[in-house]
């Protein structure tokens, strides 16, 4: 009897120990990750293409959007349909995929719109969540003369929806250059005439064009730069595009360098009638950022347009082709390298970044 009990006890211990032995034999990637509240816990498992991109830090990674003459996405191209030139030297495409990458999205909302435009934007913002998948993460921010950082990246769509529902534009405005109740001269909200200090977040700017769009994009880039290479890094700007250079610390060229260095694309949704004035085209910051980073820009004249455009932006950003290559034969000593992507099929429009900086080819954090 004792011998039988020992045999049963030994068998049970083997059964209980088996799962532990299996887990110990697995690599860290194979083991199930513990449940956490981390915003990236809902990210889909990495594909082979994503894993290769992360492993080889010398790859230049190009997200590429291809559209037909009617502006529709073209989903049926293959690797052989593409050519990539780096400093005018053709490269061998080592990774090609049309799979959807998860998004890391900073939503940058203009906090200094005209009253009519703000009334259209506010109720439309909730629709941004409708274009996100469970693997995406978003960070809601606002800007006027200053950058107003939100609550951080989250993949929780209920939290995002609640945050967007509470967005009241111009409720946390910047400093004034005069007029209204706060017409005494100030420096960063501090009265220079001996009066009481006024908190930066409570001063009414009354819709004055004191926006620092370049600084806001720079700040958004800092939030995105450390997100993984397996994610598509996007800034979505909802704005009338007005930018006053004298309020910016960072110039356009400096901001663009940061965006290209960290492979960040800018998508814009333009608000207001200013976009129907052709004189404004040359000054359009949204179009410049989008064009130079491989993003895109859309223009809306009413609320229904906005809700549709948010969905188009997220669809386009997620469903880009991804091309990756190790640069060969280009000007290795140059800091900046120009890039051109071509397709064999005629009549198509290609959107991708026009270059990159050598400093971008570093190990991901």
pLDDT above 70 for 136: yes
The residue count of the chain comes to: 365
Pairing between strand 336-343 and 355-357? antiparallel
Kindly state the percentage of the chain with pLDDT values over 70.
68
55-to-1, 225, 229, 362 alpha-carbon distances in Å: 58, 18, 10, 11
pLDDT above 70 for 7: no
Secondary structure of residue 67 in the 3-state scheme: strand
Q: Which helix (H) or strand (E) holds 90?
A: strand 89-91
Secondary structure of residue 312 in the 3-state scheme: helix
pLDDT score of 50: 67
Residue 170: pLDDT band (50, 70, 90) is: low
191-to-182, 183, 186 alpha-carbon distances in Å: 10, 10, 5
Token pair 């690797």: residue: 79
pLDDT score of 182: 27
pLDDT above 60 for 200: no
Tally of CA atoms within 13 A in the half-sphere of 65 that contains its CB: 26
Query: 91, 356 in Cβ contact below 8 A?
Result: no
pLDDT above 60 for 39: no
Structure-block tokens of residue 280: 């404004």
Structure-block tokens of residue 290: 């989008």
Of the candidate ranges 107-111, 120-124, 195-199, 295-299, the one whose mean pLDDT is the lowest: 195-199
pLDDT score of 359: 65
Tens digits of per-residue pLDDT, 220-254?
999 999 998 889 999 999 998 888 888 999 999 99
Rounded to whole angstroms, the Cα distance separating 174 from 242 reads 15
Task: For residue 9, list its beta bridge partners.
Answer: none
Instruction: Fold for 41-170+210-365, please state it.
Output: Rossmann fold (3.40.50)
Tens digits of per-residue pLDDT, 13-27?
444 444 333 333 333
Query: 97, 321 in Cβ contact below 8 A?
Result: yes
Q: Which helix (H) or strand (E) holds 338?
A: strand 336-343
All structural domains of the chain with their residue ranges? 1-32, 41-170+210-365, 175-208
- Across the range 209-213, mean pLDDT stands at 82
Residue 176 CA from chain centroid, whole number = 30
- Across the range 40-59, mean pLDDT stands at 63
What 8-state DSSP symbol labels residue 308?
H
Token pair 């609320």: residue: 303
Residue 84: pLDDT band (50, 70, 90) is: very high
Burial of 284 (0-12, 13-18, 19+ CB in 10 A): buried
Answer with the residue of higher pLDDT: 195 or 54: 54
Tens digits of per-residue pLDDT, 264-288?
999 999 987 555 454 444 448 899 9
pLDDT score of 115: 87
Mean pLDDT value across the chain: 76
Residue 78: pLDDT band (50, 70, 90) is: very high
Token pair 């203009």: residue: 110
Secondary structure of residue 196 in the 3-state scheme: coil
pLDDT above 80 for 335: yes
Structure-block tokens of residue 171: 């409720």
Residue 179 CA from chain centroid, whole number = 36
Cα distance between the two ends of the chain:
61
Residue 104: pLDDT band (50, 70, 90) is: very high
Tens digits of per-residue pLDDT, 172-186?
444 433 322 223 333
Secondary structure of residue 182 in the 3-state scheme: coil
pLDDT above 80 for 360: no
Residue 164: pLDDT band (50, 70, 90) is: confident
- Quote the Cα angle for 210-221-216, to 5°: 5
Q: Is 118 left (phi over 0), alpha (psi -120 to 50) or beta?
A: alpha
């Amino acid at each position: 009897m004792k011998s039988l009990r020992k045999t049963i006890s030994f068998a049970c211990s083997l059964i209980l120990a088996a799962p532990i032995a299996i887990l110990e034999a697995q690599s860290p990637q194979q083991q199930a990750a513990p449940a956490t509240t981390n915003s990236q816990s809902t990210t889909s498992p990495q594909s082979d293409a994503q894993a290769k991109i992360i492993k080889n830090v010398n790859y230049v990674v190009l997200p590429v959007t291809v559209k037909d003459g009617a502006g529709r996405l073209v989903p049926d191209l293959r690797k052989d349909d593409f050519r990539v030139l780096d400093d005018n030297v053709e490269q061998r495409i080592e990774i090609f995929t049309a799979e959807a990458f998860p998004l890391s999205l900073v939503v940058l909302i203009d906090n200094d719109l005209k009253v009519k435009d703000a009334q259209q934007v506010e109720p439309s913002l909730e629709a941004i969540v409708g274009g996100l998948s469970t693997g995406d993460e978003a960070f809601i921010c606002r800007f006027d003369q200053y950058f107003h950082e939100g609550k951080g990246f989250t993949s929780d769509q209920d939290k995002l929806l609640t945050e967007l529902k509470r967005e009241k534009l111009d409720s946390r405005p910047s400093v004034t250059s005069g007029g209204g109740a706060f017409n005494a001269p100030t420096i960063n909200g501090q009265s220079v005439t001996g009066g009481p200090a006024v908190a930066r977040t409570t001063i009414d700017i009354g819709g004055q064009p004191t926006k620092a769009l370049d600084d806001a994009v720079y700040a958004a880039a800092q939030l995105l730069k450390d997100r993984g290479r397996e994610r598509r890094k996007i800034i979505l700007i909802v704005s009338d595009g007005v930018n006053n250079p004298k309020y910016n610390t960072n110039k356009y060229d400096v901001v663009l360098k940061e965006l290209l260095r960290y492979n960040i694309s800018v998508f814009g949704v333009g608000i207001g009638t200013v976009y129907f004035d052709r004189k404004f085209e040359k000054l359009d910051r949204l179009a410049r950022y989008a064009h130079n980073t491989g993003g895109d820009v859309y223009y809306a004249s009413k609320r229904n347009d906005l809700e549709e455009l948010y969905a188009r932006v997220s669809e386009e950003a997620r469903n880009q082709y991804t091309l990756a290559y190790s640069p060969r034969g280009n000007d290795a000593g140059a800091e900046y390298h120009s890039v051109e992507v071509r397709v064999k099929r005629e009549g198509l429009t290609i959107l991708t970044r026009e270059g990159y900086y050598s400093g971008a080819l570093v190990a991901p954090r």
